[in-house]
């Protein structure tokens, strides 16, 4: 049997969804995909500003989180003492939902873009640090030993050997992190205010605009998938060069 492609699966789900919305389910609760796509087409010109703000918050948060997570993940992989100290707290941080962190950030940092960016950074920190530690820890020791015999010191070893070999694993964490950053940005806008897609979703919810809610969520999902795919494409290029 021919393998079902993601596009074929999506089309099959949408066809069943369309049929259910027009025959079994009240469209107010589950609008048909055709109505949602039509709403996206009409709303997208006015949605660009909201989308740009949310996307910028997510990207800046992912960069900030990666800037902290990658060095710390490297330290965890290289030092058992650092691993013993950091890993329990990093794991515990994943049990705290973003909606619980956001009010604390508002207390410490106020409202606006800065706490939202920090919230995105917190959300991406764990997957990036975890994959960085995994990638560094699983580098073949024969390669690093040979580099040391050739005169490589700590920084040249990191730059020329460890970082390139660990980069695919780091990009795996970043690939998952950027999608979490989009979630963090929207959650932050719900709780902390802002002018991104979270604000638009809140307005649509108050207006009982179900089709608008689905349209905004569809745009959000498309952007997250696009970011995920872009990082994955770059990861494939990196892996092909290794």
Which positions ≥6 away from 232 have C-beta within 8 Å? 171, 175
- What pLDDT sits at residue 86? 86
Averaged pLDDT for residues 112-133: 93
Lookup: tokens for 118 = 């920090």
Helices 80-93 and 113-137 sit at what angle, rounded to 10 degrees? 140
Model-wide pTM > 0.85: yes
Residue 204 · residue 220 · CB < 8 Å: no
C-alpha to C-alpha distances, 45 to 57, 159, 196, nearest whole angstrom: 20, 44, 14
Chain centroid, CA 188 distance in Å: 14
Distance between CA atoms of residues 189 and 187, nearest Å? 5
Which positions ≥6 away from 19 have C-beta within 8 Å? none
Distance between CA atoms of residues 232 and 175, nearest Å? 6
Q: What is the pLDDT of residues 154-205, one digit of tens each?
A: 888 888 889 999 999 999 999 999 999 999 999 999 988 888 999 999 999 9
Rg (CA), the chain: 22
Nearest CA to 194 out of 85, 61, 53, 86 is that of: 53
- What pLDDT sits at residue 120? 95
Residue 166 · residue 139 · CB < 8 Å: yes
Distance between CA atoms of residues 222 and 10, nearest Å? 13
SS3 call for 107: helix
Q: What is the pLDDT of residues 2-28, one digit of tens each?
A: 566 777 888 899 999 999 999 999 999
């Amino acid at each position: 049997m021919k393998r079902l492609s993601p596009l074929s699966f999506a089309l099959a789900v949408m066809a069943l969804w369309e049929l259910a919305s027009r025959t079994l389910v009240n469209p107010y609760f589950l609008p048909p995909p055709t109505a949602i796509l039509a709403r996206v087409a009409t709303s997208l010109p006015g949605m660009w500003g909201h989308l740009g703000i949310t996307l910028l918050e997510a990207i800046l948060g992912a960069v900030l989180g990666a800037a902290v997570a990658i060095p710390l993940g490297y330290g965890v992989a290289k030092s058992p003492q650092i691993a013993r100290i950091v890993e329990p707290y990093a794991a515990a941080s994943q049990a705290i939902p973003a909606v619980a962190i956001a009010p604390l950030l508002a207390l410490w940092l106020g409202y606006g873009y800065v706490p939202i960016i920090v919230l995105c950074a917190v959300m991406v920190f764990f997957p990036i640090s975890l994959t960085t530690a995994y990638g560094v820890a699983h580098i073949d020791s024969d390669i690093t030993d040979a580099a040391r015999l050739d005169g490589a010191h700590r920084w040249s070893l990191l730059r020329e050997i460890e970082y390139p070999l660990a980069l695919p694993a780091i990009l795996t964490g970043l690939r998952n992190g950027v999608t979490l950053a989009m979630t963090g940005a929207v959650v932050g806008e719900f709780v902390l205010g802002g002018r991104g897609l979270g604000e638009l979703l809140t307005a649509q919810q108050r207006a009982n605009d179900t089709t608008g809610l689905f349209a905004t969520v569809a745009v959000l999902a498309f952007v997250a998938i696009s970011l995920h795919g872009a990082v994955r494409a770059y990861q494939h290029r990196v892996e092909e060069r290794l």
